[in-house]
Amino acid sequence: MDDANDIIVTQEELPAAIEAMLFVSGDGITAQEMSAIVNVPVKDIEAVLSDLMSRYESNPWSGITIRRADDVYAMMTKPSVKKVVNQMFSPKNSVPLSSASYETLAVIAYNQPCTRAAVETVRGVSSDSIISRLLDRGWIEEAGTLDAPGRPALFRTSKQFLTEFGISSADELPSMELMSYQTIRDLENSLRKAAGAEDKQITIDNIIEKNVDPTEDKDPSEDGE
């Protein structure tokens, strides 16, 4: 059997090799994993990745981009071709998330990892069904258990959350004090407005720059959640 470490990839061949690995990786691949595959230093991999990301993003003729979530890189379609992709696969319309769901997402994002009890302490109401909905959406995930009686589950935002909201790490979230319900309402309204924008990547800059009426009603179907 051939030894993978015998692979020799020149600097000229490296961009094509990285593109190929990104293309076949599906859920994504780290620079360290690519380095081990092609026997090239991680710093060289990261330099080429940075260049490829800039090229894809600035090329108006390309419907593909490369995004990073934590230490994982993935190739995906640009938000500008969303309508085309949707038409191709004819997906069923998903039920839009309510303002209460975005509020819960904000609490988890700014206090992660946190338990259901911690979320409910901030929100003041039961959040079980909303947390389940966010898990189904793929925006949050379980992150172990708390070392406390009952071993309650901990939740954090997922790589899918980072990808869909256009940030590379939870550390890029803007500083925000979540001590008041009004502040949370401001954020969840902005998130919901940004998510409804057609053909526009959701970014944290879009979220914090919007001036949205914080008194907008919640979805009554969630019964106060």
pLDDT digits (tens, 9 = 90+) for 26-54: 778 999 999 999 999 999 999 999 999 99
What's the pLDDT score for residue 186?
Answer: 55
Tell me where in the chain the CATH 1.10.10.10 domain(s) lie: 13-88, 99-222
pLDDT: is 83 or 11 the higher one?
11
Query: What's 174's DSSP letter?
Result: P
Average pLDDT over every residue of 173-191: 51
In angstroms, rounded to a whole number, what is the distance separating the alpha carbons of residues 99 and 190? 10
- DSSP assignments along 66-124, one per residue: EEEETTEEEEEE-GGGHHHHHHHH-PPPPPPPPHHHHHHHHHHHHH-SB-HHHHHHHHS
In single-letter form, the type of residue at position 35 comes to: S
Do 91 and 82 touch, CB atoms closer than 8 A? no
pLDDT digits (tens, 9 = 90+) for 129-156: 899 989 988 889 999 888 888 888 999 9
Mean pLDDT, the chain, whole residue set: 76
Average pLDDT over every residue of 79-102: 73
Give the list of residues 6+ apart from residue 217 with CB closer than 8 angstroms, or none.
99
Of 3.40.50.720, 1.10.10.10, 2.40.50.140, 3.40.50.920, which CATH number belongs to 99-222?
1.10.10.10
In single-letter form, the type of residue at position 17 comes to: A
Do 39 and 50 touch, CB atoms closer than 8 A? no
Weakest-pLDDT range from 65-79, 152-166, 195-209 = 195-209
Do 178 and 111 touch, CB atoms closer than 8 A? yes
Fold category of 13-88 in CATH: Arc Repressor Mutant, subunit A (1.10.10)
